Structure 1
């Protein structure tokens, strides 16, 4: 009996020793980010937010966090990272960083090899104290990126690379619950807190709706935030409902300008404004990742926190997609379009002869500052060559620095953003290091380069009406006209000079404008035609590519949001869906639009970047 017990004991010990101990750490969950930033823009593509060492050529401060290993022992270490310049140049990339465990720095430089998101071998470490500190050391300042770190006592046990398989692995490793926590039940859930989403949320709230406003960044304002720095465009106080847009006088920045210092965009003013609205609950840093449906209705939206990974579920009878990308609509199988329609489909003279996938691009804006003394910049050459003939001899770049027109603004978006970074650094390196007469650049350094790219176009969700060029240019009247779009039909194309120098790799754009008379956008463009309880406001509304050229500017999208909030309150009052407002309660919506939801008597502080409009309505013959 004693022998059997010893054998059983030895078997148990041997089995225990054969079990691998492991630890999975999400980089974005580090308690101290140092100079690293959380980048969530591509988590739908590569599976997760990640930490980005965005130092513009100067190494950023270490990120660190304390972890507890399951046991002491020797661990093999793998880091999920990406050599971001690999689409343009083979070999070692610039985004180098290293990892320290406790007091030991692992020898392998990370982030500079491979051509995709990979689990890079970082080495092995002997762990004696199970509680220790991990540190990420940026080595270059050139956008090294770290998604996750995996420790295992079993050599060769690497997590999967496939995004779906990796998601299952993450959930198990992090003990994430299968069912998201219920965040609450609301009258309206607005996803996206750009100007359109903010306006939709507050408009509905002031008319009696309980609203959840979900935003996947730490600041609100979308393209008008300090992260992207695009100024507002279009007119308020225009068209048949001149009280629409008063809302924006309360929170919009008083100064205009693209690619200006951060304080121009007044992030805190926007946040304080939302905080005062008792019927609005703001959920920052949550990205919509899923929906539940019953028939043609969304029943809830699931959102994931971009740092902790916590998932919340938001229930409501009504939802508004203000994401720009039409994310909620896409997840709910809403009808959508991307790219340019053919000239014949809607009779649009400005449209191309044949339909194609081209969109307007995304901008990585930047500026330099006078350092007051000579300032160096590393030599940066990773696949795009600049010289005296093709370089951009400028000290800043704003909207014209536009990339990705011939790529998919959803599925290729990391490449699109990265190319924007690549050309800024490459051009600046040439100006600083190789241009013969560069005295005007010697004392200058990069002061700001956006890492959150400013999009103009991706998915457009289809409503009961699709706004087209003829509506705008011939002023075709619709009974359900709402907020007036006032900006020109402003469409962007690759800059021909840039095409000559960088064929197929353009990073500069031109704009072609067609002025219009202030045109009321049909209400039927603001809700989905096949997802019955989904509104939309912003650049993802129901328009053709050509018509998008005017409705996409932010003062206009804000007024759309204001109208959506009004319609949501009518839906709540009568227990109806968005289409029902058009069918049975259009008169009530018009009364709301005549009054607006903004405070009365405020001066119009939005006189910058209003754009040109025709003085008289077009006469249709």
Structure 2
């Protein structure tokens, strides 16, 4: 097999001298209504364009390219039929390719379930400038990874793995050596609330910081792409200054009445309650209008921070290590494909998936530990791979005129007994609890889309209540999934359920978790034979609990911190620390510890062993602006 591929590479190298045009769809000059999806970039080799139109075809994506010689070319399009694993006949993600304004005879996105090169036939191109367009036909999530045109009619194209990666690099002529992205005291990977707080905290304490985020917006699950509200109380004992930085990122919105009433600061509670009364939209915690998630506010805060360099649209694809230390991160721009190398003394994995730790060889866990291993009351007798899943939220809005929605025979099928007559899908539209949330994320998200579209199709077109839904339009459906759990990186201490319930006090207590131990499980619907797409929660109330610092760094990668849902906890304990305000406080502590590592030329473990008193001093002082900034003079 290896010899065959070497022969193929030689043929590719020879073909480079001929006429080959390789175009990554994500690099199109004009993306039209298509959106950029990189959730499964590690698994399928690239980001891609997605026609996410909610049943209405999106505007064409287009780009121009030059060729030297007029002539005949074979065109290949890398795509997939995203519902084929569930349906043998339908192809809702259909699209056409237009060359110089003329549509090819072939319709794409209709064949295999897996990503593959679909043969578009032979076409004739003119010398000079040509234009290619992607024309969505359905609005139902057609997808295109790349287009390849070649004058070699017999060229073989690889579909996956290292062979495909080599093919991409050869055809796009990407440089083998990544471009220098700089050298830093701390490299933070992941621009959710935890990562943003870690980066700002370290920068304000004198560290030179790089923050690498794989999307065009910051906030992670709290961005307008996912729309999960911030939960968990901040500014708690024993370090009531922790959390002020979280307030700078998003203080006004995302509160619900209960959280405001429980807040320990009476002035702050009054401020929050008044804002909620003045702006009722902010009481929509999840799946709300985009503006309440304040993407621009987060961006401005990070961009204006001294000592901090922000790299958006950059996916961390590899790490370089020396012994048990990380020395650099390799990042790849999800639009241009250009690679960068970010060197650092310290690194913080805020990816949620523990991707940096995984690539570096850090110890990690996935799924549920057994009761024998952890001694936890709610742990199963036998360890398994059940995790909390991915939410794909959505909502519909009222319209003046009757709104139509296409029939979706390829989606999950409902009837008057099984349908869910609502206009907003919240956190409990949760899928993939029995699947691998990293390697199967595209399929997990797609399954959620089949549930949402199928339910809405029935409500609009077939149900006894269809008159009630006639003037309601499906307005927003997330295409970036909101994950809760995947890898957890193991630290010197692994927090357990009984630590929290028995209020075990550790000398290295840091941020305080207040959310109940909130675990999610699949919720089947009687009458639907397909896998569950809803979940239910089982919550154990807790008293506020200060989590040990030793949960925030890797036990076997010497210079790796972590903050967010991938810290060192059991599956059960994750139920309380995973919410985002709590994660933001983790980031604040990580930034403080990183500054002490720089000051003493040491690693995260030695902050616990030798400099814990200095960390406590920083936590008492805090790094954020106190007083609920942006609430103004509300009394």
**CA–CA distance in 2 between the matches of 1:554 and 1:342?**
27
Q: 1:429-468 counterparts in 2 under 5 A?
A: 429-468=457-496
CA contact (8 A) 2:74 2:151 kept: yes
**CA–CA distance in 2 between the matches of 1:17 and 1:582?**
58
**CA–CA distance in 1 between the matches of 2:48 and 2:629?**
43
**CA–CA distance in 2 between the matches of 1:503 and 1:493?**
17
Q: 2:608 aligns with which of 563, 579, 582?
A: 582
Q: 1:247 and 2:245 equivalent? A: yes
Give the equivalent residue in structure 1 for 2:439. Answer: 411
Give the equivalent residue in structure 2 for 1:618. Answer: none
**CA–CA distance in 2 between the matches of 1:426 and 1:560?**
40
Shift of 1:239: 2.5
Q: 1:561 aligns with which of 582, 587, 592?
A: 587
Q: 1:527 and 2:561 equivalent? A: no
Q: 1:544 and 2:570 equivalent? A: yes
Secondary structure of residue in 2 paired with 1:164:
helix
**CA–CA distance in 1 between the matches of 2:81 and 2:454?**
16
**CA–CA distance in 2 between the matches of 1:523 and 1:481?**
6
Q: 1:172 aligns with which of 163, 170, 174?
A: 170
Q: 2:67 aligns with which of 66, 69, 90?
A: 69
Q: 2:124 aligns with which of 123, 126, 134?
A: 126
Which shifted more, 582-591 or 252-261? Answer: 252-261
CA contact (8 A) 1:363 1:454 kept: yes
Q: 1:47 and 2:30 equivalent? A: no
Q: 1:263 and 2:261 equivalent? A: no
What's the TM-score once normalised by structure 2's chain length? 0.91
Give the equivalent residue in structure 1 for 2:622. Answer: 596
Secondary structure of residue in 1 paired with 2:194:
helix
Give the equivalent residue in structure 2 for 1:10. Answer: none
CA contact (8 A) 1:482 1:523 kept: yes
**CA–CA distance in 2 between the matches of 1:70 and 1:78?**
19
Give the equivalent residue in structure 2 for 1:321. Answer: 349
Question: Aligned residues, how many?
Answer: 589
Shift of 1:504: 5.5
Shift of 1:343: 1.1
Q: 1:389 and 2:417 equivalent? A: yes
**Runs of 5+ in structure 1 lacking a partner?**
1-15, 607-621
Q: 1:372-383 counterparts in 2 under 5 A?
A: 372-382=400-410
**CA–CA distance in 1 between the matches of 2:157 and 2:96?**
20
Q: 1:93-136: per-residue Cα shift (whole Å, max 9, x none)?
A: 10010101113210111012212111111122111233111101
**CA–CA distance in 2 between the matches of 1:296 and 1:334?**
9
**CA–CA distance in 2 between the matches of 1:400 and 1:501?**
19
> Cα RMSD over matched residues?
1.5
Give the equivalent residue in structure 1 for 2:331. Answer: 303
**Runs of 5+ in structure 2 lacking a partner?**
1-13, 255-284
Shift of 1:604: 9.3
**CA–CA distance in 1 between the matches of 2:229 and 2:441?**
22
Give the equivalent residue in structure 2 for 1:366. Answer: 394
**CA–CA distance in 1 between the matches of 2:125 and 2:47?**
28
Shift of 1:502: 3.3
Give the equivalent residue in structure 2 for 1:12. Answer: none
Q: 1:205 and 2:231 equivalent? A: no
Q: 1:264-294: per-residue Cα shift (whole Å, max 9, x none)?
A: 1000011111111011110000000000010
